């Protein structure tokens, strides 16, 4: 997948602003403060880049982002994480970026319903075809 260089550069700049605003340097370790800082940033910016792009910005694997998103609600029980997440959101809101993926769940459910109906209809046509084929093969 081709990265959107301008947008990714903007996210990198936002990451630098974020780390400066929270008063810690970006260090490649697994300390609680560092991992919470990365996770908060990842969750705040998840709709502005693909997981692959955001993982490269954070110098992590995309599974780290999946885990951060999965644990987000749980981590909101910790004041230090809440502060980091709120700051990441403030930096995100100050950055001029357009979301890349906005999903409406009801639209997706309707699309799935239509696709399931289409599959059901195709199965009927397949059965009819096989019945007709068998009939013609007997002649």
61 contact partners, CB below 8 Å, separation of at least 6: 55
Q: Give, in degrees to the nearest 5, the angle at Cα 74 between 70 and 79.
A: 130
pLDDT tens figures, 11-57: 999 999 999 999 988 888 888 899 999 999 999 999 888 888 899 99
Q: Where are the domains of the chain?
A: 5-94, 103-139
Task: Enter the pTM of the model.
Answer: 0.68
Task: Name the more confident of 27 and 74.
Answer: 74
77 contact partners, CB below 8 Å, separation of at least 6: none
Instruction: Note whether 43 and 72 are within 8 A (CB).
Output: yes
Give the number of other CB atoms < 10 A from CB of residue 61: 13
CATH architecture of 5-94: Orthogonal Bundle (1.10)
pLDDT tens figures, 100-121: 765 667 777 888 999 999 999 9
Q: How far apart are alpha carbons 93 and 18 in whole angstroms?
A: 11
Give the number of other CB atoms < 10 A from CB of residue 7: 16
């Amino acid at each position: 997948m081709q990265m959107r260089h301008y947008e990714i550069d903007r996210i990198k700049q936002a990451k630098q602003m974020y780390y400066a605003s929270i008063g810690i340097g970006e260090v490649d370790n697994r300390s609680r403060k560092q991992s919470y800082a990365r996770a908060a940033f990842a969750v705040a910016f998840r709709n502005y880049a693909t997981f692959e792009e955001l993982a490269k910005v954070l110098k992590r694997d995309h599974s780290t982002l999946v885990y951060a998103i999965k644990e987000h609600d749980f981590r909101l029980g910790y004041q230090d994480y809440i502060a980091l997440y709120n700051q990441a959101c403030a930096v995100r809101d100050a950055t001029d970026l357009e979301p890349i993926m906005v999903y409406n769940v009801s639209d997706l459910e309707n699309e799935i319903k239509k696709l399931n109906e289409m599959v059901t209809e195709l199965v009927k046509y397949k059965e009819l075809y096989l019945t007709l084929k068998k009939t013609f093969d007997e002649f």
